[in-house]
Amino acid sequence: MSFIENLGLLLSFQKFFLIPNYNVNFPVTVLRSIPVFFFLYLAFKDVYGAFSSREVSSLHEISELGDMIARFELLSHRIVFILTFLIAIKENSKHLYLISNLIEFERKLEQVCHVKRKPLGYLRNNIEISFTVMFNFAFYGVFWGHAFPEITLGLFFRLLTHFTVVTTNNLVILYMTRIIKEISDLSNYVVFCMKSDDISVFQLFVDFLKLPQIVNSATGGTIFLSFLQHVGSTAMISYFIFWLLMGNEWIPPKVLFLFVCSVWSISNIIYTAHISFMGNRLHQMIYKLIRHHNNLNEGLELTRRSQPPIQFNKHQIQLWLGHIDKKSIVAGSLEVTNAGFFSVQSIMTTYLIILLQFKQLEDSTMYR
């Protein structure tokens, strides 16, 4: 099962968060859920603190707008973490159905096309999750080491919660990206097999075109939340970047904060761009398959050994193709493609401009 092996540690991690009941009994499911519920409790506590506290950052004394944006940035990570878990509970059966379908499709592909998918290898499978965890740990470790000379027990749990929540949100979008990539890779084998006129190959083609709808049903809500959180976070962090660049003093803490904001904004853009480009690749591969089907002759006979020929109705198949999902779609209409990525980035730019206008209004009020 190359599909499971290629998901690697990303799937192992999601067995604790999105699908704790994957291939285990109830007691193991409960044990897997204990650390998740612990961090859910801490996330709820942070959400309550963000709403009840008068200030959540040292920016309160400098700019109320800056403090409000810092509050929204904290809330975006915590709320998306909580909502992702709730959606995972709601879509649990669909998620497990998706994985079982992909495993079964891969098995059928190897039987029909007489090919054997080779796993990418342990290092290649897990390079993304390893880099993300190490990057977040080193990134936050350096920043917090300069920002907090003394760390109390309460502050330690706050920092641990933030690291865990942010890393989990990043790994969720990486996991969804990997699933889309795996389906796109499977399509290459289907294209190769379509050179044959056997009925089993045609059925494989039909089964593959059913996968995007299953993916959208099982992961659409989660992908939408991840998109929303990463794009919103980028807009809010970009506000701080513009704010710092417009200042005159270049003291070391300001330079460090500017560097942190820049790196974090770029990483958020990379996550959203990565899943968008993978979605675009899947979209192109599906249309490549459909174009191949459209080139088939109307009277093509699909044959199977020891059975009479079967003639398919090309017009009826084309009607069916017009009603299926041919791309990864979230929130009903947002495409996980290049077009969707640039639409999201335009929304982010709009929000950033609005925040900067509020900043100008705040500055004019302060110096009046």
The pLDDT of residue 202 is above 70: yes
Distance CA 221, CA 90 (A): 10
Going by their DSSP bridges, the two strands 329-330 and 301-304 should be labelled as: unpaired
| Dihedral of alpha carbons 204, 208, 210, 211, sign | positive
Mean pLDDT of 187-193: 83
Q: Position of tokens 């809500």?
A: 221
Buried-state track 69-98, b at ≥16 Cβ within 10 A, e below 16: bbbbbbbbbbbbbbebbebbeebbebbeeb
Q: pLDDT at residue 193 above 50?
A: yes
Burial grade of 100 (CB within 10 A; 0-12, 13-18, 19 or more)? exposed
Tens of pLDDT, residue by residue over 48-81, are: 888 887 666 666 666 677 777 888 888 899 999 9
Regarding predicted confidence, which is higher, 320 or 287?
A: 287
Look up residue 306 and give its DSSP letter: T
Domain positions in the chain are 2-295+314-367
User: Mean pLDDT, to the nearest integer, of 159-165?
Assistant: 91
Predicted model pTM: 0.86
Residue the block writes with tokens 């003394």: 150
Is residue 344's pLDDT more than 70? Answer: no
- State the average pLDDT over residues 301-323: 51
Q: Residue 218's closest CA among 303, 97, 133, 321?
A: 97
Please report which confidence band the pLDDT of residue 155 belongs to, taking 50, 70 and 90 as the band edges.
confident
**18 has a pLDDT exceeding 60:** yes
Mean pLDDT along residues 343-352: 68
Per residue in 209-227, pLDDT (tens digit) is 888 888 888 888 898 888 8
Calculate ∠ Cα 128-325-273, nearest 5°.
Answer: 30
Tokens in use for 163? 């690291």
